[in-house]
Chain A
């Protein structure tokens, strides 16, 4: 892309600082760095879409209620995400507060941009177009994609040699990094890969369906090389049971 422009160190610092950092994320048990990538992977029905919906809620709910109050972009390729579900999930998060729930949720929803993609080409062009949207809104610091592997089989038609799904997903994460440049934007994406990506992501959340609705989440932090396991239920939101 042709975004290279000359700016002074002060200008660069000012531009980067404008985009607020995301705070503590309960699912990671950690405060991610501004440009980290979170991969959410696991079998069908393990709760990937619900988890990414929950991450979006944590991001857009207001700062005054100990959330992030940021702006976010959601790229919808699998079309399992439902804005009605997001509304219900935020309602669940706010049930113990004494605020006007509908007003807070509507205000939070206005900070989210949804983009529906219907083809591999449209997804790739949408990723390229993110640069323009990020420049227009300096408060966007979170991009969520559900899922990055949705058009893998379409891509096989366009390439000369058969690639693996991991290779395809890694290519898209690299395109996202190129588009962000120096901007403080964190990314969470889901995929349907059988094995988690070994490189290019800072956190991997591997979801595994368990018996009697008790599922297992392995969170791998590749920066320090640690794994920790948590168990969860799928209800109106992702509820940890340990």
Chain B
């Protein structure tokens, strides 16, 4: 674990240069929130996505310093390098989502103090769903982008990721179209009831599965790479 700690520390130190940007974004979000109350619901999504994207930028730092080669001269191996990256990326995204979850009620309190004529209340259920939605969204992006980066590098990997996401959207839209065409739309209510009961655990299972598949694909790519 100690070596992985070293690898994660290296990335966290790299990211510490983002401190100022993070504070600025946070202030911007508060301003946006005070001007538009509907934005409140999206804070956890924005925070999770932003944190995840920041974590992914560590790959660019590695490319600039060509650190992938240097790291492999240290007492570690490619598998540990991959595991450390996933731990870092997942942790930062989770922390972002949790911060988003925690600051939303605070921002609402601040807004209520400023605009007393239009009091807002915290919808905890909605907040939980948007937080989990944010985690799932960034998990989807990360689980596609990390193997893409290992395969094509951070620059090309980003383009390939957008292509993959576009294909994914096409597949989902196509499946939805076929679903309606096949006359299954009458089951929509049943599906909605199912999602209300099992949506959260299902989302968690899908998120974990996405990361697991992504990790396996990354290993397969990076371990073969010279």
Query: Do A and B assemble together?
Result: no
